[in-house]
Amino acid sequence: MSDSTNSKISSQTSYKDNNDISLLSLIKTLWRDRRFIFKSIGIFFILGIFVAIVSPKEYTARGTYLPTTVDGMNGVGNLSGLASLAGINLASGVGNSEIPPSLYPKIVESIPFKMALLEAPLYFEEVGKMVTYKEYYENYYSPSILVNIKKYTLGLPSVIIKLFKKEAVEEAKSPSQSPILAISALDLGHFRRLSNQVLISYNNKDGIVEVSAAMPDAIAAAQLTKFAEQILQKEVIAFKIKNAKEQLSFTEERYNEKREEFEKIQSELGRFRDRNQNISSAYALNEQNKLEANYNLAFSVYSELAKQMEQAKLQVSKDTPVFSVINPITIPLEKSAPKRPVIIAIFLVLGIIVSILWVLLSDYISKIKHIWLAS
């Protein structure tokens, strides 16, 4: 065996021995401070139990439905599955006069939508009556201990900033003098909460829309979900039939004008015939022919507008989307949060990691300090 081979084997053996020594030293260090590690894990375990107990309860209600698009077809159609295999997205091809379902989450994030949700009538068992969303969180809701701790620890800088900015914000608002929406700081807080509570997701493959809402009360969660669903569908329908309704309104105005004109000419022709039952002069005959011509023209225009108005009404009905319910909204029986076993397990793992890192870091710092003092 050559010298290079022997040196290579010896270096590998030395590297393995060093790794064994390092691992053994690490185990000895952890075993030496095992009491500290166990105490730290115990503290994190107790802290996890505390957080799991004081975390506020939350119930989530959900509902899914399939929105229709142009010509009564749904957002994806029957060929969406095959088209997706070819890399073609049929879900977004919903026509120019319709809101694509993929934009529904944007509607939920809009200010008018959230302002409507603030007035949603909800029933809370702890209140015992129907109150609005805004009224509940301003007069009845009691935040948990964790919320208050977070507000005055991590959120303390934002609380201080709001105190200084509140007066400036109030002075800047002038809703009576400007058409721009003015939002109070209190409403802004409600909007931020709603962003986490009310969610709308869209399945691009199946074209299914899911509406969900999370609230401290199960009944209120279902009611808020239903209210959000109704507002969303109302907005989509209003946008979809906007053009058809404008056309119907225009046709109705013209129809009413021509109807009055037709009735006026009809009355004139009737009065003329009553006065001239036995026509003997050419002048009277010409007047009768003139009135009859005007009558026939007015009747033709009036009849045509009546047809157009009925067609416009049918178009409005045709363009009105229909939302097929896949999964109706029901009152949740089980709370969605907090998930106490998961919280406790997370704190346990966190306690193990933090305690081990603390022991190793402390040992490393002590060794560096010892070497520095010895030199």
Give the pLDDT confidence of 235-263 residue by residue, as tens digits: 888 888 878 888 888 888 888 888 898 88
pLDDT, one tens digit per residue, over 306-332 is: 898 888 888 877 777 778 888 899 999
One domain, residues 282 and 300:
yes
One domain, residues 310 and 171:
no
Within 13 Å and on the Cβ side, how many CA atoms surround 72?
Answer: 4
Q: pLDDT band at residue 270, thresholds of 50, 70 and 90? A: confident
One domain, residues 27 and 96:
no
- The torsion angle over the Cα atoms of residues 257, 258, 262 and 268, rounded to 10 degrees, is 50
One domain, residues 76 and 197:
yes
Is residue 240 within 8 Å of residue 232, measured between CB atoms?
Answer: no
pLDDT, one tens digit per residue, over 22-45 is: 777 778 878 888 898 899 889 999
Higher pLDDT, 82 or 345: 345
- What integer best gives the mean pLDDT of the chain? 77
- Compute the average pLDDT of residues 37-61: 87
| H/E element, 24 | helix 3-32
- pLDDT attached to residue 30: 80
One domain, residues 94 and 235:
yes
One domain, residues 69 and 35:
no
pLDDT, one tens digit per residue, over 135-177 is: 999 888 876 554 455 544 544 455 455 545 444 444 444 444 4
One domain, residues 72 and 184:
yes
One domain, residues 296 and 330:
no
Domain span at residue 114 reads: 58-240+321-336
pLDDT, one tens digit per residue, over 103-130 is: 888 888 888 899 999 999 999 988 889 9
Before 338, cis peptide (omega within 30)?
A: yes
CA distances 26 to 19, 310, 359, 361, 366, Å, are: 10, 86, 10, 11, 14
One domain, residues 332 and 201:
yes
Please return the burial class of 204, using the count of CB atoms within 10 Å of its CB with bins 0-12, 13-18 and 19+. middle
Distance CA 35, CA 134 (A): 51
- pLDDT attached to residue 233: 87
Query: Could you tell me the pTM of the whole model?
Result: 0.62
Q: Where are the alpha helices (DSSP H) in 173-208?
A: 185-197
Residue pointed to by tokens 């975390």: 55
Say how many domains are in the chain.
3
Q: pLDDT band at residue 85, thresholds of 50, 70 and 90? A: very low
Is residue 320 within 8 Å of residue 98, measured between CB atoms?
Answer: no
One domain, residues 88 and 134:
yes
The yes-or-no verdict on residue 89 having pLDDT over 50 is no
The yes-or-no verdict on residue 335 having pLDDT over 60 is yes
One domain, residues 136 and 221:
yes
pLDDT, one tens digit per residue, over 189-217 is: 899 999 999 998 888 887 888 999 999 99
Q: Which two tokens stand for residue 206?
A: 């199946």
One domain, residues 43 and 67:
no
